[in-house]
């Protein structure tokens, strides 16, 4: 099972509201701080709620964005 700590390095997590077609990026590090890194991603689904229309949604998208190490090369090299 995929847990939040598996996602933090290489993936972005998006919640999608089918009612108003809104897509919001979830901050994985914030979620880990609040729920713990061992939290399984599929368990997050029941906690999601759209901020705009307040509909509960279970639609999560996981997007691969690459390893954090590779970003760091660009961020920290001077
Ligand atoms: Zn909505």
pLDDT at residue 46 greater than cutoff 50: yes
Distance 69 CA to ligand 1 centre (A): 34
Where do the structural domains in the chain lie, given as residue ranges? 4-76
Banded model confidence at residue 77, pLDDT cuts 50, 70, 90: very low
Percent share of the chain, pLDDT over 90: 62
What pLDDT does residue 20 have? Answer: 94
**pTM for the whole structure:** 0.76
Distance 19 CA to ligand 1 centre (A): 5
Number of Cβ within a 10 Å radius of residue 46: 9
pLDDT at residue 58 greater than cutoff 90: no
Q: Which string of b and e fits 8-44 if b means at least 16 CB within 10 Å?
A: bebbebebebeeeeeeeebebeebbeeeeeebebeeb
Distance 76 CA to ligand 1 centre (A): 38
Distance 61 CA to ligand 1 centre (A): 15
Distance 17 CA to ligand 1 centre (A): 5
pLDDT at residue 72 greater than cutoff 80: no
């Amino acid at each position: 099972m995929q847990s939040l700590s598996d996602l933090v390095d290489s993936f972005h997590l998006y919640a999608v509201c089918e009612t108003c077609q809104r897509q919001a990026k979830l901050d994985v590090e914030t979620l880990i701080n609040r729920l713990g890194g061992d939290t399984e991603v599929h368990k997050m689904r029941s906690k999601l709620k759209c901020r705009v229309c307040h509909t509960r949604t279970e639609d999560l998208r996981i997007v691969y964005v690459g390893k954090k190490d590779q970003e760091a090369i660009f961020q920290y090299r001077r």
